[in-house]
Chains A and B, each alone.
Chain A
């Protein structure tokens, strides 16, 4: 049994999921803070 296929699958899964979590959190934060700043400027 080739163990590397299992190792690569596990690392790819963790890398992709962590990157997606970071990206989602970052984009949500940027969007929410930009909306709050825009509303503050409009007043």
Chain B
């Protein structure tokens, strides 16, 4: 990781990676959308609403993976003082917040025909709503710290403490058996979803993950360019 602590070395890798990730991500997502909307059959019980699975699950995964990445960046910043860690945290947060909001919105749209309600104070839904609020808090705190010229340590602490919510989201369907269905896909136990319905899901999962990574790289490049400009302007003013 410290090999990429130098922004110039990081940019050398990030510049070509941004385009590749973006193009491959868009292609995978479009392929997954086509398969999910036009090729897979409707579910015997849920009918066509099951097609929301292909966008809802990647949104949930990215909302949680986004915060896990913020927590990893926070550790890197607090323990090893990695110079790009705070930049990475600030770059991840808006994309993670968007996918948390999309997870809640698509879940709500799915819930109306499947459960007969737009919203329920169920363990999974409530813990995901808390994750969205954590993202908004992190964005506000990191922006305020940056404007005051701070090193982002408070935001890093907040990012680390907020990670407590991740296992709560994951195990909420086991701890509070209310409305949200239990886990359908597990690394150890495989999937309970029929293969003819499942295959577009890896495409959209990979595709949205690549798009997320491309967006994070673009936002990191934006912040590094702004830092470079600010440093140059400060030097010019001092001369």
A binding-site residues for B, Cβ under 8 Å: 1, 3-4, 6-7, 9-11, 13-15, 17-18, 21-22, 25-26, 28-29, 31-33, 35-36, 39-40, 43
Contacts and interface: CB of A to CB of B under 8 A. Distances in A.
24 contacts: A6-B109, A6-B113, A7-B48, A7-B49, A7-B52, A9-B109, A10-B56, A10-B105, A11-B33, A13-B105, A14-B59, A14-B106, A17-B101, A22-B214, A25-B222, A29-B221, A31-B222, A32-B225, A33-B221, A33-B225, A35-B225, A36-B229, A39-B232, A39-B233
B113 A4 contact: no
Given A6-B49, A13-B102, A13-B105, A28 B222 contact: yes
Contacts of B56: 10
B49 A26 contact: no
A30 B102 CA distance: 26
The 10 A-B pairs with the shortest beta carbon distances in the complex, nearest first, are A32-B225, A3-B48, A25-B218, A36-B225, A29-B218, A32-B222, A10-B109, A14-B55, A29-B222, A33-B225
Interface of B: 22, 29, 33, 37, 42, 47-49, 51-52, 55-56, 59, 94-95, 98, 101-102, 105-106, 109-110, 112-113, 208, 211, 214-215, 218-219, 221-223, 225-226, 228-229, 232-233, 236
Nearest to A19: B26
B219 A17 contact: no
Contacts, number: 90
A14 to B, nearest CB: 5
A32 B226 contact: yes
B111 to A, nearest CB: 10
B47 A17 contact: no
Contact of A6 (B52, B94, B221, B226): B52
B110 A21 contact: no
A3 B43 CA distance: 12
Given A3-B48, A7-B37, A10-B55, A21 B95 contact: yes
Nearest to B227: A36
Nearest to B59: A14
A6 B225 CA distance: 42
Contacts of A28: 218-219, 222
Contacts of A6: 49, 52, 109-110, 112-113
